[in-house]
Structures are given as C-alpha cells and as structure tokens.
Structure 1
Amino acid sequence: MTVEQARTAMVIADQVTRVFGRGDGAVKALNEISFTAEQGTITALRGRSGSGKTTLLNIIGALDRPSEGRLLLQGEDLTVLSEKQRNQLRRKRIGLIFQSYALMPLMSAYENVEFGLRIAGISSSQTRRMAEEALEQVGMKERMKHRPGELSGGEQQRVAIARAIAHHPVLLLADEPTAELDSKTGRSVIRLFRELVDRLGMTIIMTTHDLSVLSMMDQTIALEDGHIGKASEE
C-alpha cells in the first residue's frame, strides 16, 4: 500500500477544550479546537508562547485529558480510556520527541535507544535489532557507540528521533524539535521527518516557532490564545 492510498484520518480533535483551575481563577488554555491530521502527513502547531500548542500536543499524546470534547487516534476516543490503557497506547502507538533531547548522558546513542525500547516493554530478543534499525533510519548507526556529549546538537536530536520511532509508532509527536538547533541543522531535522513520512507512512504532529520550516509541512494549525487563528482557516 502506498502512502497516498493509506491517507486516512490519524488524529481527529473534536471541539477540544482544556481549562486549568476553577472558579474565578480558571484559565481556558484551549477553546473548542477542531482539526484532522491525515495518516502520512506532517502537521505543525504554531503560535506564541501561551497560545495552547503544547497543551494540545499533550492531549494528542494522551499525556493530558481535555475538559470537554474528544480526541480520536485512528478512530479510538482517547478521552474514555483508563490511565493504564493510555499508558499502553503511548508505549505502542505514539513516539514522543522533547525539545531538550532528554538523552541519558552516560549512555551511548545505542544504549539510549535500546533503553527506551526496554521501558516500552519490548522483549530483549528484539531490542538490539530494533535499536540499530532505528539509528540506521536517522543516519546515526555509524555513531551509535558515542555518548551524547560526543555528538553535535543535530546528532543528539537524531538519536532522540531514533528512540521515539524504534518501537514503530503510528504517530510521532515533537515539541519544538528545532528550537535548540541552528537554522541549517533544524531544516535537516525537518527533512528527516519528511523522509519518515514519505518512506514509512508515519504521521507527525509538531509544535514550532520556526516559520522557515512551514513550507515543508502538509498542514499548519495557527493557535492564538487557545483558538485556531485565521491563518489556519484561510
């Protein structure tokens, strides 16, 4: 099956609202957000600090729950799942990439990826093959014995991506993945995302401040004070 043939709704946000606090102190971080991300696409969530994009990413990743509305992953409503079911879903179907890389400094690139697989409950008989395969997919197999301190920022981000995709998730979520990188290295990371989408049919949703990478996105959702902005509606 080609990527084009497989393009169906991966994520559906349906009137997603998130309120923090109660009473007079309540803050509405998201207000009736609705959008669809198709399988085999890259979606960017952009907006200023405080616009709600990280809150939305956390809800998509089953790290948080909406106060109202629904979030569907491959047709499954995440808002009705138990905490145990949500944990299992993240381990099996979602990959997470953090802005700070979050690599273990005393572990090699390979050990960081393999450790992530063990945490996800993958059997030891499979972790070596899967870790090496993931590092090869991001162009880091030749550097897999190096520790994070021996790698450039771009290389560390590639290891973080390898760790996030090693368990073969259907959805990859990245929070400001280029924020700590120079513009050239940042664009190379986005090109890698594009390769993962085009080659593996993966779906990627990322937050970003970097306007220079938006031309490489299939869809951009502009958030303003918890609402979808006009740029996304045009």
Structure 2
Amino acid sequence: MNRAPAPAAGDNPLLRAVGVKKVFGSGESAVTAVKNINLDIARGSMIALKGRSGSGKTTLLNLLAALDQPTEGHVYYNGQEISRLPEKQRSVWRRSQIGLVFQAFGLIPLMSAYENVEFGLRIAGSDSRLHRERAERALEWVGMKPRMKHRPPELSGGEQQRVAIARAIAHSPALLLADEPTAELDSRMGLQVIKVFRDLVQELGMTVVMTTHDPGIMEIVDHVIELEDGEIAAQPNA
C-alpha cells in the first residue's frame, strides 16, 4: 500500500499538496496536466494561481478541492489526507468544509438571491433551523442583503457573482476555492468581487485560493503562484 507522507510536526498549513501529479488518459494519448507539485497554503491567506491557458492551474484547483484525485502524490486539508478518500466521502467533505465559486455563476434564474443561497445550504445538509440566519448573514457579508429578493436576471454580473459567493460561504467554510471568478466581469465589477474575497480573509479569517488571468488581481492577493507547463514556476517563500 502506498502510504501517505505525514505533514511535518509543528507545521500546520490549512492546505498542502505533496508530490502531486495528474495524468489524463493512458499510453501514447496520456497527457500530464500537473507534476512535481509541492505546495503549502497558509490559513487566512489569499492566493492566486496564475498561468497561461493549459498551464495546469484549473487542474490543480480541482485537485485541491478533491473534485479530482491525483495520479501520484497526496493532498491534505487541516492535516487530514483528502486525496485518497472514496468519492462519497470526498463529496461530503466538499459540501461541509469548503466553498466553491466558478466563472459561470450557476444561479437558478427563477429563485431569488436569498432562495439561491438557502438552496445551497439545503444541499450542504445544514441545520434547516439556521438557514434563514445563515443565508441572510452571507448575503450581508457580500453586500447583497438589500437585493436578496431580486432574481438573477434582475442583477448585474458582479451582483450575481457576489450572490454565488454568498451561496459558497453560507455554511462558514474555512476555505474558499474560486476558478476564474472575474472572467465574465468587467474590471470594475471584477475588483468589487475581489474586494469581497479580501474582506472575507480579513474579517472572517477565511482562506481564499483562486485561479486568474487578471493582472489587477495580482496586486491585491497575498501571494501569486505561477504555473508553467504543469509545474510551479514561482511561489511564495516558505
């Protein structure tokens, strides 16, 4: 059995990747998406994964979110290995421990902003007695409580993305993972969304990891990790 290397004593990052490699396909058609990934993400930090299209940043984010499993190596969350859990356990872990945000907002058009967030809590298996309080609190965190009765078609792109963020954080996860969260927004709305992330880090101690092409975001995050041909080309000092 391939035993996972234990995290070093006294070293407790929220998220850790050790010797991670991901290969899609097999034989002559095999494609190595990421390799030689060794990475620690500190608690309460805001990290950008940067790289050209095809650099492996989305694959790496999916591995960190346990949406996919590495071909080699291990991913830890809070000291526990998540990369080798069965799919059912990984699904339960994702629903309860992390928040996910994508460039496509994924809101249900016929539901109000509040209903979209509350629906996310139901999927997460949250205590139904706390749904209203948690949904309204999450919408307030992202500045959308005054518009919580509006449906997605009545909201701007930036407002829709903020509702999507509220849905992702309503169950108070320690970790928020976002794949190109500003790709569909103009620069002004994109900066509004990034300010929401920064506030979540500073006010709630959340950890945010996002992929991005946006050069403006690089000036706002704590660290930029650059990927090139599936490997980390540059990352913060330990």
Q: Same fold (TM over 0.5)?
A: yes
Instruction: Give 1:80 shift.
Output: 2.4
Give SS of 1:95's match: strand
Q: CA-to-partner distance for each residue in 1:29-74, whole Å, 9 max, x for gaps?
A: 0011111110000111111111111111111111000000111111
What is the match of residue 160 of structure 1?
164
Give SS of 1:136's match: helix
> What is the TM-score of this pair, normalised by structure 2?
0.93
Instruction: Give 1:218 shift.
Output: 1.0
What is the match of residue 22 of structure 1?
26
Q: How does 1:38-49 map to 2 (within 5 A)?
A: 38-49=42-53
Instruction: Give 1:84 shift.
Output: 1.9
Counterparts of 1:233 and 1:18 in 2: how far apart (Å)?
22
Residue identity in the other structure for 1:92: S
Q: CA-to-partner distance for each residue in 1:70-119, whole Å, 9 max, x for gaps?
A: 11111111122122211111111110001010000110000000001001
Counterparts of 1:69 and 1:166 in 2: how far apart (Å)?
31
Residue identity in the other structure for 1:96: L
- Same amino acid, percent of matched pairs: 59
Structure 1: gaps (5+ residues): 1-6
Counterparts of 1:130 and 1:26 in 2: how far apart (Å)?
45
Q: How does 1:72-111 map to 2 (within 5 A)?
A: 72-111=76-115
Higher helix share: 1
Residue identity in the other structure for 1:87: S
Residue 63 of structure 1 pairs with residue 67 of structure 2: yes
Residue 232 of structure 1 pairs with residue 235 of structure 2: yes
Structure 2: gaps (5+ residues): 1-10
Q: 2:206 aligns with which of 194, 202, 208?
A: 202
Q: CA-to-partner distance for each residue in 1:123-162, whole Å, 9 max, x for gaps?
A: 3211111100100111100000000000001100100000
Compared with structure 1, are the counterparts of its residues 41 and 233 closer, same or farther at alpha carbon in structure 2 (3 Å cutoff)?
Answer: closer
Q: 2:16 aligns with which of 9, 12, 20?
A: 12
What is the match of residue 175 of structure 2?
171
Give SS of 2:105's match: coil
Counterparts of 2:96 and 2:23 in 1: how far apart (Å)?
28
RMSD: 1.3
Counterparts of 2:195 and 2:216 in 1: how far apart (Å)?
12
Counterparts of 2:26 and 2:87 in 1: how far apart (Å)?
23
Instruction: Give 1:225 shift.
Output: 1.1
Q: 1:186 aligns with which of 163, 169, 190?
A: 190
